[in-house]
């Protein structure tokens, strides 16, 4: 495969002259290295030095201009994993005049997005750390379109999921090792460096034990739009789309019912379900549904997504393959199985995903509570959970423990030992949680997306007061509906009123169905009250408070 950018598409001399005269131009977003993405004109990469180079000239721009704070600790994170010290980006500086003494640059004509994949061998990491962040970083900058070039700087090979990265743009992504093929000095005409972290929901436990991110900024809507776009590119059609394309609703309902099926996502090398055949039989019998198995070892990824996108229930051991639950239809159920001594509450990337607002998935976990049903692998290498390399005492402690204590990523031997166990799934206890969930959720059927339209402020809030007696007073508060309500069909509209006596630090909250109310309890004469009013749709969609009212009795 020849690796050359046709230098004919760009006027080489114009480009070289621009670089020599204007140097590099950088403007970034973000206050901190952790939320920064930078856009460059004429950023260069020297493969010999393995460094990006910023050329200074009289007209070069570097914003933010941090001086040496650029190294404290870095200009930005190259991956979507926050503040990881193996993922820092910086460039080297040179005067543009130095170009005279350097190899002739090769110009990259494409708009380029440069970043690190975090762990391209692991499907969960591929989606959570790379595909989703790249997809939405590209949405953020309109010139990062289907023609954009992706450059992976982490230095790994293509990896097992390279085809998924290829769906993000029509151009072949470049690996770091390939950059040297273009010559000693490569200059990116237009490039972006860094990834948006807006879509990530999980932190892997580098500084505190793993768990959901503190401030999740993504909803099921964005995840599902990403999933739909990927499915389109994989030429997968969903049942919902097939319905749109014809067939009476009645027929489709009928078909839907017959087609309700369970997917068991199986792993064939580690963390096995030892009685998978028995499990499949039991599920089919108890749920009266077809059961299909899929595995990454046996099927193409698109064919797995095709199956999952129509499933009612997805059953799988904890593991990266569960990220495919983002392709489940709304209303489906994720059943995550955990090996002995592993607490489901402490490892929740898939629970958090399923629970994102608007994801509309049900989530159930099951944990092997019977030690006799677990098969351990103490003799394996440490990264597959082996413990024979540890001191005898430590081995014994781990073997005696029935619960892995909270720990940091990524080499805790007790955690690895337990998470790589194989499990004989106790069918009755699994069926019990499944049937219980079915009862409480009423049904496992596909549901319509819930509305996410929030109320506007209530308008023209007013208060009127009157003094009744020496220690009795009345406070009447009234307001108009939010402006957007007249265009909406809302199941339930309520108002919340907060009343606070000036100078006090507590308030009384009231929920009201109507647009005015006269308060008399706890209202004192000759007192100033602060009153806030907001609208609430369907119990949980809160609007903003109107400006505070000052009401004197
Ligand atoms: N994997 C698999 N079958 C197996 C074991 C692993 O398909 O029997 C896949 C898994 O889905 C993930 C990758 O191999 O994409 C790495 O698996 P590992 O157990 O290291 O990670 P985990 O699943 O715990 O995130």
User: pLDDT, tens digit, for every residue of 318-362?
Assistant: 999 999 999 999 999 999 999 999 999 999 999 999 999 999 999
Mean pLDDT of 106-126: 98
* Residue 448 reports pLDDT greater than 70: no
* Residue 106 reports pLDDT greater than 60: yes
Q: List CB contacts of 476: < 8 A, sequence separation 6 or more.
A: 463, 464, 465, 516, 517, 518, 519
Mean pLDDT of 48-73: 97
H, E, C per residue of 207-250: CCCCEECCCCCCCHHHHHHHHHHHHHHCCCCCHHHHHHCCCCHH
Q: Is the CB of 122 under 6 A from ligand 1?
A: yes
**Tokens at 52, concatenated:** 């990006």
* Residue 413 reports pLDDT greater than 70: yes
Mean pLDDT of 242-255: 53
Task: Give the ipTM.
Answer: 0.99
* 76 CB neighbour count, 10 Å cutoff: 23
What share of the chain has pLDDT > 90, as a percent? 91
Atom in ligand 1 nearest the alpha carbon of residue 419 = 24
CA 422 remoteness from chain centre: 29
CA of 321 to the centre of ligand 1 (A): 7
Q: Lowest-confidence range among 250-264, 269-283, 311-325?
A: 250-264
Q: Is the CB of 478 under 6 A from ligand 1?
A: no
What is the pLDDT, as a whole number, of residue 168? Answer: 98
Mean pLDDT of 256-269: 88
What is the pLDDT, as a whole number, of residue 440? Answer: 76
Q: List CB contacts of 503: < 8 A, sequence separation 6 or more.
A: none
Mean pLDDT of 465-473: 94
Summary mean pLDDT of the chain: 94
Q: Is the CB of 319 under 6 A from ligand 1?
A: yes
pLDDT digits (tens, 9 = 90+) for 272-286: 999 999 999 999 999
31 dihedral zone (left: phi>0; alpha: psi -120 to 50; beta): alpha
pLDDT digits (tens, 9 = 90+) for 435-445: 988 887 765 44
* 210 CB neighbour count, 10 Å cutoff: 19
* Residue 119 reports pLDDT greater than 70: yes
CA of 450 to the centre of ligand 1 (A): 34
Mean pLDDT of 478-484: 98
CB-based contact 16:105 (threshold 8 Å): yes
Atom in ligand 1 nearest the alpha carbon of residue 268 = 8
Mutate to test the pocket of ligand 1, among 118, 119, 121, 122 (most ligand atoms within 8 A of CB): 122
Q: Considering only CA atoms, which residue is closest to atom 16 of ligand 1?
A: 122
CA 469 remoteness from chain centre: 59
Mean pLDDT of 475-493: 97
What is the pLDDT, as a whole number, of residue 242? Answer: 59
């Amino acid at each position: 495969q020849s690796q050359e950018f046709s230098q004919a598409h760009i006027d080489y001399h114009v480009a070289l002259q621009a670089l020599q005269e204007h140097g590099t131009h950088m403007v970034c977003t973000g206050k901190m290295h952790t939320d920064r993405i930078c856009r460059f004109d004429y950023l260069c990469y020297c493969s010999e030095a393995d460094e990006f180079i910023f050329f200074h000239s009289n007209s070069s721009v570097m914003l933010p201009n941090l001086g040496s704070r650029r190294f404290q600790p870095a200009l930005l994170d190259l991956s979507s994993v926050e503040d990881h010290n193996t993922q820092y980006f910086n460039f080297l500086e040179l005067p543009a005049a130095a170009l005279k003494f350097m190899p002739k640059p090769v110009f990259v004509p494409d708009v380029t997005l440069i970043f690190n994949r975090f762990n391209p061998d692991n499907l969960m990491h591929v989606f959570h750390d790379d595909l989703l962040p790249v997809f939405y970083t590209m949405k953020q900058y309109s010139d990062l379109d289907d023609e954009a070039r992706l450059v992976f700087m982490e230095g790994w090979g293509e990896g097992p999921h390279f085809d998924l990265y290829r769906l993000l743009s029509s151009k072949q992504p470049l690996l770091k090792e390939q950059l040297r093929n273009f010559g000693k000095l490569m200059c990116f005409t237009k490039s972006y460096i860094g990834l948006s972290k807006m879509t990530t929901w999980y932190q892997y436990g580098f500084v505190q034990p793993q768990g959901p991110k503190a401030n999740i900024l993504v909803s099921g809507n964005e995840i599902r739009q990403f999933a739909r776009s990927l499915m389109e590119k994989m030429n997968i059609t969903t049942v919902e789309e097939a319905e749109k394309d014809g067939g009476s609703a009645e027929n489709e309902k009928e078909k839907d019912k017959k087609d309700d099926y369970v997917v068991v996502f199986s792993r064939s090398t580690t963390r096995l379900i030892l009685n998978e055949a028995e499990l499949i039989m039991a599920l089919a019998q108890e749920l009266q549904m077809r059961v299909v198995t899929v595995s990454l070892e046996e099927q193409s990824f698109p064919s797995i997504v095709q199956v999952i996108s129509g499933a009612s229930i997805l059953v799988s051991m904890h593991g990266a393959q569960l990220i495919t639950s983002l392709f489940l239809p709304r209303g489906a159920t994720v059943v995550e199985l955990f090996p002995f001594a592993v607490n489901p509450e402490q490892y929740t990337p898939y629970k958090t995903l399923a629970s994102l607002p608007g994801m509309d998935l049900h989530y159930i976990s099951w944990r092997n509570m019977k030690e006799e049903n677990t098969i351990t692998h103490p003799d394996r290498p440490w990264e597959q959970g082996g413990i024979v390399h540890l001191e005898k005492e430590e081995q014994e402690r781990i073997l005696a423990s029935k619960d892995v204590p909270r720990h940091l990523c990524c080499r805790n031997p007790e955690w690895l030992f337990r998470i790589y166990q194989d499990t004989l799934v106790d069918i009755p206890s699994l069926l019990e949680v499944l049937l219980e969930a079915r009862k409480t959720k009423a049904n496992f059927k596909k549901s319509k997306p819930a509305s996410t339209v929030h109320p506007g402020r209530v308008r023209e809030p007013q208060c009127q007061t009157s003094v009744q007696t020496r220690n009795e007073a009345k406070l009447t508060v009234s307001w108009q509906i939010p402006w957007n309500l007249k265009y909406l069909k809302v199941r339930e509209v309520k108002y919340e009123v907060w009343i606070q006596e000036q100078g006090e630090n507590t308030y009384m909250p009231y929920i009201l169905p109507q647009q005015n109310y006269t308060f008399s309890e706890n209202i004192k004469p000759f007192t100033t009250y602060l009153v806030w009013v907001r609208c609430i749709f369907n119990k949980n969609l809160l609007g903003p408070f109107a400006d505070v009212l000052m009401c004197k009795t």
